Amino acid sequence: MIPKPVEELEKALERLPGLGRRSAERAALALVREPSRLMEPIIAALAAARKEVVCCTRCGAFTTRSENPCSNCTDLTRDGTLLCVVEEPSDIVQIESSGAFKGRYHCLGGKLAPSRRSGPEKLRFGEMLARVREEGVKEVLLALSTDMEGDATAGYAAELLAGAGVRVTRLAFGLPADSGIAYSDPLTLRRAITGRRDV
């Protein structure tokens, strides 16, 4: 018989990406078995992340309250004429790990998904257009998922940018169909960025 608090812990852990029911159960039991070695450091790290981690006010990437705008936005060595548009802040982490992109980023905060009531008004398209106008952007790279919702989001972004006088490109199809950036390895991302194409 598993105590109710451990069951609740399992359910909470099961919501994390990559953890199924059995993995969540093993993790929960390990945490309660060794609370001082495992649970207490995790609790402290979660509390610190909740208190300090925010999304960059300019690009939407993960950063800290004390470094906002983030280091990518303030790094003068990055190419400010090249803007990479992604769905989620975690996509920026993945693209950075490829080492192939040296421009700036813009996170939309999701993708168009009518079934989940995620329309254009819920995403950061307006901020994207403002940055293109104000920051001297010459190329917008749409680094969006290759599923139907990602394609719809890319199409909508391309329409918005049509009159902005910028080149609009999309990642080359080195990414598997129906897949996201978060599941891609650095080599695949490098090839996709290097072989990007016009929309």
Establish how many alpha carbons lie within 13 A of residue 154's alpha carbon, considering only the half-sphere containing its beta carbon: 21
**What is the rounded end-to-end Cα distance, in angstroms, of the chain?**
57
Interatomic CA distance for residues 161 and 177, integer angstroms = 25
β-strand pairing of 62-64 with 53-55: antiparallel
Average pLDDT, the chain: 92
Specify the DSSP class assigned to residue 3: -
Q: Once rounded to an integer, what is the mean pLDDT over residues 116-126?
A: 89
User: What is the assigned CATH class of domain 62-198?
Assistant: alpha beta
List the chain domain ranges.
4-54, 62-198
Count of Cβ atoms closer than 10 Å to residue 179 Cβ: 14
Which CATH superfamily is 4-54 part of?
A: RecR Domain 1 (1.10.8.420)
Interatomic CA distance for residues 84 and 101, integer angstroms = 9
Q: What is the pLDDT of residues 19-55, one digit of tens each?
A: 999 999 999 999 999 999 999 999 999 999 999 999 9
Of 101, 105, 68, nearest to 88 (Cα)? 105
Q: Evaluate whether 4-54 and 62-198 have a shared fold.
A: no
Instruction: Kindly report the pTM of this predicted structure.
Output: 0.82
Supply φ then ψ for residue 98, to 5 degrees.
-75, -25
- 183-189 contact pairs (CB < 8 A, 24+): 184/94, 186/94, 186/97, 186/98, 186/99, 187/98, 189/94, 189/95, 189/97, 189/98, 189/100
With beta carbons less than 8 A apart as the criterion, state whether 175 and 184 touch. Answer: yes
Percent of the chain scored above 90 by pLDDT? 77
Q: What is the pLDDT of residues 135-167, one digit of tens each?
A: 999 999 999 998 889 989 999 999 999 989 999
